[in-house]
Chains A and B, each alone.
Chain A
């Protein structure tokens, strides 16, 4: 910079430099984020966002909620079944709730339940880790027996013509018992000699089974995102299921976590992570959505387990009744939501 005499005006240059330095200092002090309120400053490749998969187009939602959610009255609801009323197991009890939310019956258990079934006569069968307990209609304990495998966690029970089928999520096996507690056979054993006897992949304790009207047992293989049809003597018939976070698939380590079969033979599946309840037809073709995160009032990020104790408890359970209504047990809010098909 020169003045009229052509000499460099060093004083002016120094002044400008000092002024710029002061402005930069002020800006950096003002913009300094010591509390992290302005974000982490990481580029987009470091961001994790799956919320787009939780957004479900309204035209895909083919069910609607009926009434208000019914509180279970439990601190930790676990499983749901329907037979002339809603049965929910949790804490150390089983409660029967009517459609208006009143508790009609309560059965006290010796330990926390891990699965539940109710037969046509109102007999209640409860799994608690490796133990099955059968209560008669009045809630009186009738029988109790322990499954043969060590460290078993029974995650699902179904009833079929007087026999009890229960799924063991730790050992990946399904035991078939009569009501006296005698083991009839075991389904799903891994056999390296047989190509289709690959066993199940069960990363977390969700391993559900359901009996279909065609007489075949349906078993969720959550690690492979498949539902497999088995004969009751253990022959694997066919599978369906697609791995994808999109609405027609199952994703994550282990989904679906629970399922139920509607009177028309179609499947109701509940997923964790991307909290969704969906319908697939009897052949496994995607039909529509019962409820997504918005309908299930899921708040906050789509996370299944922040804390170690949560990874066994946040999968929603589903049950159906003879009219096709779907009952969703919200294991986080401890409520039951009832859904009906839209007209």
Chain B
């Protein structure tokens, strides 16, 4: 049995319409804010094409140990026996003796692959982001070692102290969902 429709007066119509508009507006605003907050979250990163490995990353970070670390683009590496990112310019021998290593902290690990190739990995717990190995690699090699801000360490300061001290303007804000600027992926 159908009931006759209740007639809607103008006041009810306006009141219901206003409530509906408020809900729609709130929902829309929430959606826009949610999408903006996810799209506009940015983090600091080093553009390896601009970085000069000046050493400021090691000392200007507000953290006690810099959030900048050396990373390695393995696809660009030559896996050299005489790696100029690993060895001093005139090593007495191509071994793992500390006096032959370029890194003052011994943060690069040399592993034999097959004759005559060696793999070099970074021990990030020892690396302070000074960039000495980056310079050594770029001076003679393929430039496969480079510096990046590690986002598991970076506190993402609004005013990054390293960015302010970067002479090459290599620090930039990048979207948080793509936080690394890697070499050899172009």
A residues adjacent to B (C-beta < 8 A): 33-36, 39-42, 45-48, 50, 53, 198, 201, 203-204, 223-225, 243-246, 251-255, 272-274, 301-311
B160 CB to closest chain A CB, in angstroms? 11
User: Which of B83, B84, B104, B164 sits near A46, CB closer than 8 Å?
Assistant: B104
Q: Provide the residues of chain B in CB contact with A50, threshold 8 Å.
A: 89, 139
The reply to whether the CB of B108 lies closer than 8 angstroms to some CB of chain A is no
Give the residues in chain B near A304, CB-CB below 8 Å.
Answer: 138-141, 143
Query: Can you report 15 residue pairs joining A to B where beta carbons are below 8 Å apart?
Result: A40-B60, A48-B102, A50-B89, A50-B139, A201-B81, A203-B79, A204-B141, A223-B78, A254-B78, A254-B141, A303-B139, A304-B139, A305-B141, A307-B49, A308-B186
Q: Which residues of B contact A251 (CB under 8 A)?
A: 82, 84, 89, 140
Chain A, residue nearest B79 (CB): A203
**For the complex, what is the distance from the CA of A273 to the CA of B56, rounded to whole Å?**
24
Chain A residue, CB-CB nearest to B159: A34
Closest 3 CB pairs of A and B: A203-B78, A252-B140, A36-B165
Q: Which of B78, B161, B167 is within 8 Å of A34, CB to CB?
A: B161
Give the distance in Å from the alpha carbon of A203 to the alpha carbon of B82 in the complex.
11
- Kindly name the residue among A50, A243, A272, A308 whose own CB sees the greatest number of chain B CB atoms within 10 A: A308
B89 and chain A: residue at smallest CB distance = A245
Answer yes or no: B130 CB below 8 A from chain A CBs.
yes
Determine if A253 and B89 form an interchain contact, defined as CB atoms under 8 angstroms apart.
Answer: no
Interface size on B, residues (CB 8 A): 46
How many Å from the CB of A305 to the closest CB on chain B?
4
- In the complex, A8 Cα to B12 Cα: how many Å? 86
Which residues from chain A contact B141 at a C-beta distance below 8 Å? Answer: 203-204, 252-254, 273, 304-305, 311
A40-B56, A253-B142 given; name 15 further pairs at CB < 8 Å: A36-B165, A36-B166, A40-B55, A40-B59, A46-B58, A201-B116, A203-B80, A223-B81, A223-B116, A251-B140, A253-B80, A253-B140, A301-B139, A302-B139, A311-B76
Q: Which residue of B lies closest to A312 (CB)?
A: B142
Interface flags for B11-54 (1: CB within 8 Å of A; 0: not) read: 00000000000000000000000000000000000001101111
* A224–B78 alpha-carbon span in the complex (Å): 12
* A245 to B183 Cα, complex, angstroms: 27
Q: Are A245 and B90 in contact (CB under 8 A)?
A: yes
Report the bound CA distance from A253 to B94 in whole Å.
13
Contact (A253, B143) CB under 8 Å given A40-B59, A304-B138: no
Whether the pair A252, B84 counts as a contact (CB closer than 8 A) is: yes
Q: Which residues from B are CB-within-8-Å of A302?
A: 139
Cα distance A201–B78 in the bound complex, in angstroms? 9
A201 to chain B, nearest CB (A): 6
Please determine whether B142 and A204 come into contact, CB atoms closer than 8 angstroms.
Answer: yes
Within 8 Å CB of B186, what residues of A?
A: 308-309
Docked Cα-Cα span, A302 to B51, in Å, equals: 15
Closest to B115 in A: A198
How far apart are the CA atoms of A203 and B144 in the complex, in Å?
11
Minimum CB–CB distance from A56 to chain B (whole Å) comes to: 16
The listed residue with most B CB atoms (<10 A of its CB), out of A36, A39, A224, A225, is A36
A314–chain B nearest beta-carbon distance, Å: 10
The reply to whether B49 and A306 contact each other, CB–CB distance below 8 Å, is yes
CA distance A315 to B186 in the complex (A): 21
Q: B63 to chain A: closest CB distance in Å?
A: 15
Taking CB as reference atom, which chain B residue is nearest A33? B165
Q: Which residue of B lies closest to A40 (CB)?
A: B55
CA distance A225 to B60 in the complex (A): 39
Within 8 A of A (CB), among B79-123: 79-84, 89-90, 102, 104, 115-117
A31 to B130, CA, bound (A): 22
Docked Cα-Cα span, A36 to B102, in Å, equals: 24
Closest Cβ–Cβ distance, residue A222 to chain B (whole Å) = 9
Instruction: Answer whether residue B151 sits at the interface, using C-beta atoms and an 8 A cutoff.
Output: no
- For the complex, give the distance between the alpha carbons of A47 and B141 in Å: 18
Q: Once the chains bind, are A48 and B135 in contact (CB under 8 Å)?
A: yes
B132 part of interface (Cβ distance < 8 Å): yes
Instruction: Give Cα A301 to B79, complex, Å.
Output: 24
**A223–B104 Cα gap in the complex (Å)?**
25
The smallest C-beta distance from A335 to any residue of chain B, in angstroms, reads 23
On chain B, the residues within 8 Å of A34 by CB distance are 161, 164-165
